[in-house]
Amino acid sequence: MKYAYSQNERVEATPKAQGICICCGSEMIAKCGNQKIWHWAHKNRRQCDTWWENETEWHRNWKDKFPKEWQEVVHFSDDGEKHIADVKTRNGFVIEFQHSAISPSEMASREQFYTNMIWIVDGTRLLKDLQRFTSFEHWQSYQSNRYDHANLRALPKRWINSSVPVFFDFGIDDWLYGLIHQYDPEAGNGPVSVTMKIDYLVHAITNSGAWQAQRVKLK
């Protein structure tokens, strides 16, 4: 994790620092080596947040686009279940950055738990996803905030049933490629694709504390 509590403050890992987990309250040690990004790890291996995935530089770069106080926030459900949201805004809107593989059941659980959320997925992890996407001619003519059906087939199929917006970061310039459901009021329920500049999405969320797909009629 990027943050742990130390003397009641959220602090980043520095060599030999000690801290307390923001989620389970157990002891954390600072891992500050050369191989991985500096992070906090539980001193004793224990069950904390089972949804937590080891952070990559990709995670850190994304989190750091948002205010520090929104990064790694413990979110509670009514029945007391708790998980650490990668980003949770002042309005309770959650962004989950997903690098590793995730099972359909965990995907659904997380969407149900947070409800008001979007995914941002590392589209470069699987070469076949990236190749499929870049072989699709449409992606080159993408325009910001363009919604259509044309590019759906270029996006990884396993996310198509997601109940919340999913944005893929294929590491191509500064674009995101989104998959949004139940969006077109004319055509009825179903997925559409949207293209967006990373900065646009980040600014929209930072300014308003949330993000909602526009409802426009598709041609």
C-beta of 46 vs 215, nearer to Zn ion: 46
- In the complex, least distance from residue 22 CB atom to Zn ion, rounded to whole angstroms: 7
C-alpha span between 43 and 124 (Å, rounded): 32
C-beta of 24 vs 152, nearer to Zn ion: 24
Q: How far is Cα of residue 71 from the mean position of the Cα atoms in its chain?
A: 11
- In the complex, least distance from residue 31 CB atom to Zn ion, rounded to whole angstroms: 14
- Piece of the chain touching Zn ion by CB under 5 A; list 16-24, 72-80, 124-132, 156-164: 16-24
* Count of chain residues binding Zn ion (CB under 5 A): 4
26-62 burial: b if 16+ Cβ within 10 Å, else e = eebbbebeeeebbbbebeeeeebbeeeeebbebbeeb
C-beta of 23 vs 176, nearer to Zn ion: 23
- In the complex, least distance from residue 98 CB atom to Zn ion, rounded to whole angstroms: 20
C-alpha span between 175 and 167 (Å, rounded): 10
User: Distance of CA 165 to CAs 19, 49, 89, 108, 176, Å?
Assistant: 35, 23, 16, 13, 12
C-beta of 23 vs 194, nearer to Zn ion: 23
C-beta of 48 vs 164, nearer to Zn ion: 48
Q: How far is Cα of residue 209 from the mean position of the Cα atoms in its chain?
A: 15
- In the complex, least distance from residue 4 CB atom to Zn ion, rounded to whole angstroms: 9
Q: Is 107 exposed, middle or buried (0-12, 13-18, 19+ CB in 10 A)?
A: buried
* Residues in Cβ contact with 155 at an 8 Å cutoff, skipping those fewer than 6 apart: 133, 168, 177, 179, 193
Binding residues among 129-188 for Zn ion as defined by CB under 5 A: none
C-beta of 37 vs 74, nearer to Zn ion: 74
- In the complex, least distance from residue 189 CB atom to Zn ion, rounded to whole angstroms: 39
Binding residues among 17-56 for Zn ion as defined by CB under 5 A: 21, 23-24, 48
Q: Enumerate binding residues for Zn ion (CB under 5 A).
A: 21, 23-24, 48
